[in-house]
Amino acid sequence: MKKTTFLIQLIVILYAVAPFPLEALNVRGHLLKSKTYLSPAFFLHPGSVSNKFYLDVPFPRGHLALKSFDAEVVDENGVPVPLHETYLHHWVVEPYYALKNSDSTDAQKLPKMIPAGNSGVCKTTLSQYYGLGSETRHTATWVPDPYGIEIGNPEMPPEGYEEKWMINVHAIDTRGATDKLGCTECKCDLYNMTIDEFGGKLPKDYIGGLYCCYDQTQCQVREGFNGELRKLFLRYTVTWLDWSDAVVPVKIYIFDVSDTALPDGKSKPACRVEYQVEECSPENRIRNECIDVKVTKQVLPRGGDIVYGAAHQHSGGIGASLHGQDGHLLCASLPTYGTGEEAGNEAGYIVGMSTCYPKPGSVKVSDGEVLTIVSNYSSDRQHTGVMGLFYILVAEHEHPAPKPALCFSFPAPWCLPTWLTSNL
Ligand SMILES: *[C@@H]1O[C@H](CO)[C@@H](O)[C@H](O)[C@H]1NC(C)=O
Ligand SMILES: *[C@@H]1O[C@H](CO)[C@@H](O)[C@H](O)[C@H]1NC(C)=O
């Protein structure tokens, strides 16, 4: 008796200390596994930008259920680097199908890789499985039990292909920058940029965003500032379970407030990813109304239960929300700003976004439902290259399996009609 009480106490204590891993350990006896990896190294000097795509990065192999993905930028001693030195604009991680034996003559005509992105809604621009930016240190990515993101299903890759993973890391070194926020917002004048990466002229009204801070560009640094070249890595920890019938698969959808195709009456989504927030008018400033509210609608291809939700915003963001077709709130995600100097608590930067974990089955969406995305920013000052993304995980409702027909083999094989047996 005493022993049981002690055991219960121990479980209660452990549960309180580490709710997530233990909860997972209890997923019908399946063991939660975790591994930490380093991306290839990238190099930054004061003011420089690195935007690299790494193919075939280390990742757990096998038929698995992803449970979480946490990442941060570290230096070569493994020490976390604060955002005011290396601003993590974004990282994204995504599977793709790579051609096996690509050297053989038969394979010459085949594409070397085939994208294998998420389930929508911006397939061409936002197809990642996971992706965050400055908020990565304090944003939960945990997929609640009994759900999991299915990967490595051997039946998924087309014949002759295998699943691999790519990571894109976009980082901006702002040591010694004349305008740190301006560099992180990719203001074109700070980068001396009038043409884009491919030599095209930038539109006149384009004053900031990704086209001005691509790989190898340089932001303005204070004269005489000296800082050494740094060798950096994205360190990421993946947590997973082996795939089993006990895990309920979830689909990944990313919504983008910059896609105004539906309200504009266009048929194809146009996810521009970034947008611009204008400084509020003097009249609004007097009335204390310096908030920029951006709203759009996008279609969710397939419904089910929302089991997780989180928004992505940049500095200046003050919250985003996702609403069902009748307007009711599905999830609101609010930023946390840092208040200090140290990595994970940098003043002026978004260091975390709140997440939604609805009680399973309590937040439902349906096939083809038109969702509303809202993204709020402070318009106290102008912001360029901001984002308003909403990431959700949806567990589809299982379609009840048709009951097997009731069959007999005597005197010859025959079955009862299913209209008769379906009510048995
Ligand atoms: C941008 O151009 C100006 C003038 O041409 C120059 O003084 C400045 O150093 C340049 N800045 C960078 C970051 O290249
Ligand atoms: C966005 O701003 C509007 C207008 O001020 C407000 O009603 C709404 O609650 C805000 N949403 C979030 C998620 O902060």
Q: Do 40 and 129 belong together in one domain?
A: yes
User: Separation of 88 CA from ligand 2 center, angstroms?
Assistant: 26
Tell me, yes or no, whether 6 and 90 share the same domain: no
pLDDT band of 196, cuts 50, 70, 90:
confident
196 and 115 in a single domain? The answer is yes
In a domain, 46, yes or no: yes
Q: Which of 329, 330, 353, 376 to mutate to test the pocket of ligand 2 (most atoms within 8 A of CB)?
A: 376
Cα 229 to middle of ligand 2, angstroms: 42
Q: 15 and 78 share a domain?
A: no
Distances (CA, A) of 171 to 29, 74, 217: 40, 12, 11
Report DSSP letters for 36-57, one per residue. EEEPPPEEE-TTBEEEEEE-S-
Nearest residue (by CA) to ligand 2, atom 4, is 293
Query: What is the pLDDT averaged over residues 257-276?
Result: 91
Per-residue H/E/C for 111-141: CCEEECCCCCECCCCCCCCEEECHHHHHCCC
Distance from Cα 234 to the centre of ligand 1, integer Å: 30
Please identify, by atom number, the ligand 2 atom nearest to the C-alpha of residue 376.
1
Question: Per-residue confidence at 368, pLDDT binned at 50, 70, 90?
Answer: very high
Q: Do residues 359 and 289 both lie within one domain? A: yes
- Residues 7 and 102 both lie in one domain: no
Average pLDDT for residues 169-177, to the nearest whole number? 98
- Ligand 1 pocket, mutate which of 183, 191, 192, 219 (most atoms under 8 A from CB): 192
Quote the pLDDT of residue 413. 62
- For residue 318, the ligand 2 atom closest to its alpha carbon is 14
| CB of 220 sitting under 6 A from ligand 1 | yes
Q: What is the pLDDT of residue 276?
A: 96
Do 11 and 102 share a domain, yes or no? no
Task: Round the average pLDDT of the chain to a whole number and report it.
Answer: 90
Residue 419 lies in a domain: no
pLDDT tens, position by position, 96-110: 999 998 777 676 789
- pLDDT class for 21, splitting at 50, 70, 90? very low
User: Which pTM was predicted?
Assistant: 0.86
What pLDDT shows up at residue 29?
Answer: 57
Reply yes or no on whether the pLDDT at 399 is more than 70: no
Q: How far is the CA of 227 from the centre of ligand 1 (A)?
A: 18
Average pLDDT over residues 259-272: 89
φ/ψ of 224, rounded to 5, equals 80, 0
- Confidence band for 75, pLDDT divided at 50, 70 and 90: very high
- Residue 404's pLDDT band, with cuts at 50, 70 and 90, is low
Q: Are residues 239 and 217 in the same domain?
A: yes
According to the model, what pLDDT value does residue 401 have? 47
Q: Looking at the structure, tell me whether residues 121 and 249 fall in a common domain.
A: yes
Ligand 2 pocket test target in 374, 378, 389, 390 with most atoms within 8 Å of CB: 374
- The pLDDT assigned to 200 comes to 87
pLDDT at 109: 84
* Domain span holding position 184: 32-395
Q: Is a pLDDT exceeding 50 seen at residue 214?
A: yes
- Average the pLDDT over 25-38 and give the result: 78
Give the Cα separation of 55 and 48 in Å (integer): 22
Q: Give the pLDDT score at 397.
A: 87
323-331's contacts with Cβ under 8 Å and 24+ in sequence apart are 323/371, 323/372, 323/373, 323/374, 324/365, 324/369, 324/371, 324/372, 325/369, 325/370, 325/371, 327/372, 330/306, 330/356, 330/363, 330/365, 330/371, 330/392, 331/306, 331/356, 331/358, 331/363, 331/390, 331/392
403: in domain: no
Indicate the number of domains in the chain. 2
pLDDT, position 424: 47
Ligand closest to the CA atom of residue 212 = 1
348: number of CA atoms within 13 Å, CB side?
11
pLDDT at site 405 = 57
Contact call for residues 73 and 88 (beta carbons, < 8 A): yes
Same-domain pairing of 87 and 114? yes
CA 406 to centroid of ligand 2, rounded, Å:
57
> Does the CB atom of residue 194 touch ligand 1 within 6 A?
no
Residue 412 forms part of a structural domain: no
Would you say the CB of residue 192 lies under 6 angstroms from ligand 1?
Answer: yes
Same domain, 129 and 229: yes
Same domain? For 235 and 193 the reply is yes
Residue of 415 and 132 predicted with greater confidence: 132
Confidence of residue 344 (pLDDT cuts 50, 70, 90): very high
